Structure 1
């Protein structure tokens, strides 16, 4: 199981998340995106429809009739009703349930850096967990820092 920590400093979540989602879908994978606040989930829904003029990411909100058919599912909790093996935690809150997926993307900003550090340390000795820490350079590109 792989956990990728993404420290958002230059590029906001609104630009970083669609890139990750596109890569997951390009490999035939499915993704569940978790955000605790309803307002953030509404914004994510709008984002995935309109982040680029020439495309959109097919998705739905958890709790609908077609959850199992959605390539990307936006949810309040880490339940993959769409059968996703990838999870994106986008509200800066680490959830242990993410360890039940093949790959977790943990996005956080400066407000949540302390919590992210605790999660990083907490996963250090977990068997079968590979951690990566990605930070943004001045140009906004991702660089592996650990």
Structure 2
């Protein structure tokens, strides 16, 4: 399983999540986006709906009757009723449940940097886990480790 650590820079988190989601959808993947704060999920939900018609990303907030059909599901829980094999942690709080997925995207900022460092260390040497670290430079993602 692959864990991609993304250190947030100047780009809005919603824009980064939309970019990752769009790429996964183009590969017929499904995504579970997890954050403890429902306000974060509500902002992301609005942003995904407000995209231009050519860039609409089909999604839903967890807790509805159609959860299983959503290609992108926004949730406070690490469980994926949409059968996603990709989990995106949007709030910088590592969840061990991410290791049950094929791939995890772990977004963190300056406020959650120490938690990200701890997660990086805890995952070191774990069998079947590959870690990658990405940071933004001049508006582009650069693999640092």
TM-score scaled by structure 2? 0.96
Match of 2:141 in 1: 142
| Alignment partners' CA distance in 1, 2:45 and 2:11 | 19
CA distance in 2: counterparts of 1:12 and 1:26, whole angstroms: 22
What secondary structure does 2:114 align onto?
A: helix
Contact 1:18 1:51 in 2 (8 A): no
Q: Secondary structure at the match of 1:42?
A: helix
Structure 1 residue 60 corresponds to structure 2 residue 60:
yes
In the alignment, the residues of structure 2 paired with residue 11 and residue 63 of structure 1 have an alpha-carbon distance, to the nearest angstrom, of: 29
Shift of residue 140, structure 1, vs aligned partner? 1.6
Give the RMSD, CA atoms, in angstroms. Answer: 1.0
CA distance in 2, matches of 1:69, 1:121: 36
TM-score (norm 1): 0.96
**Number of positions where the alignment pairs a residue of Structure 1 with one of Structure 2:** 145
C-alpha displacement of 1:10: 2.4
Distance 1:60 1:4, change over 3 A: same
In structure 2, the gaps of 5 or more residues are none
Counterparts of 2:95 and 2:22 in 1: how far apart (Å)?
A: 23
- Measured after TM superposition, the shift of residue 69 of structure 1 is 0.4
Where does structure 1 lack aligned partners over 5 or more consecutive residues? none
Q: Deviations over 1:90-109 (max 9, x none)?
A: 00110000000000000011
Superposition map of 1:1-146 within 5 A = 1-52=1-52, 54-137=54-137, 139-146=138-145
SS in 1 for 2:88: strand
